[in-house]
Amino acid sequence: MLKFIVLAQVLIAILYLGKWGLFVTLGLSIALVIIYLWITKNSLKKNYSKLKWEEMPWLYDAVAKMSYRAGISMPNIYILDDYIPNAYSFRNSLVLSLGLFEVLSENEILGVAAHEIGHIKNGDTILFPMVAYGRYLMLFLVAVTSLFSHHKFAIFVSLILYVLYEIERVNFFKKREFRADETALYLLDRPFNLKDALEELKYYEDLRITVKESALPGIEPNIERKQKKSFMTTHPSYDERILRILVEIEAVELLDNLK
């Protein structure tokens, strides 16, 4: 769906701006690719260190095993110097922050790593930057069309397409997160590792916000934060993910029992 929206936006630009619209689209696309490559190349210079087998054999071996199961080559594992628990993947690499090692057990860290391998296997490390940078392309084309086409219809359609892109982008990211979770369940020896990790990370985030928001420096770990709903959030909530994981595990167990 997203590619059709982008295609329609490009067509509007070409139809109403002619050759100039085509050059702008091509030029901006090339510029965005260069910016992406530059950012991914330079963002790894500080605060990251590449994990060696002898540093954490349990993690290295488990990632190798899960990558084999996923049918991908062994990813690079980077450790990020950040006390906030965080994990993400890019190209054929996964990044785990030091904060994760402080709050999660080894099994739970493997759950997080499996989710990131799921992203790599599903091609999200290529798709996500394209969709994220596609947003800038869309925004730029809306601006160019609005400023230079002088056609109310073109401006209107261009704006509608941008809004559609934003809605579809949010849905796309959410779907891919669920899919990465689903993939992770098949990669893990113990599928509940991912659920346990998400529960702990949810607890961490809730507690951190409670501590931050509290006027007094005390904490009340049992206070549950009310979920702030935002329709533009690209990540599904922990609760949604945990629920889906439980449903998936139940479904697999049921199917196994029926066999």
Contacts of 159-166 with C-beta under 8 Å, sequence gap 24+, read 161/5, 161/8, 161/9, 161/12, 162/9, 162/138, 164/5, 165/2, 165/5, 165/6, 165/9, 165/134, 165/135, 165/138, 166/135, 166/232
> Which is closer to another protein, CB of 81 or CB of 239?
81
Tell me which residues in 45-84 interact with another protein (CB under 8 A): 49, 51, 55-56, 59, 79, 81, 83
* CB burial string 121-154: b at 16+ within 10 A, e below: bbebbebbbebebbbebbebbbebbbeebebeeb
Q: Which of 8, 208, 248, 249 binds another protein (CB under 8 A)?
A: 208
Q: Which stretch binds another protein (CB under 8 A): 17-25, 93-101, 114-122, 245-253?
A: 93-101
Q: Which of 99, 139, 160, 192 binds another protein (CB under 8 A)?
A: 99
Q: Which stretch binds another protein (CB under 8 A): 1-9, 28-36, 157-165, 216-224?
A: 216-224
Q: Which stretch binds another protein (CB under 8 A): 13-21, 173-181, 207-215, 236-244?
A: 207-215
Q: Which stretch binds another protein (CB under 8 A): 63-71, 99-107, 129-137, 160-168?
A: 99-107
Asked if 172 and 2 count as a contact pair (C-beta separation under 8 A), the reply is yes
Closest CB 135 distance from another protein, rounded Å = 33
Q: Where are the alpha helices (DSSP H) in the chain?
A: 2-17, 19-42, 57-70, 98-103, 106-121, 124-148, 152-187, 192-213, 238-258
> Which is closer to another protein, CB of 36 or CB of 204?
204
The contact set with another protein (CB under 8 A) reads 49, 51, 55-56, 59, 79, 81, 83, 98-99, 101-105, 200, 203-204, 207-208, 211, 216-219, 221
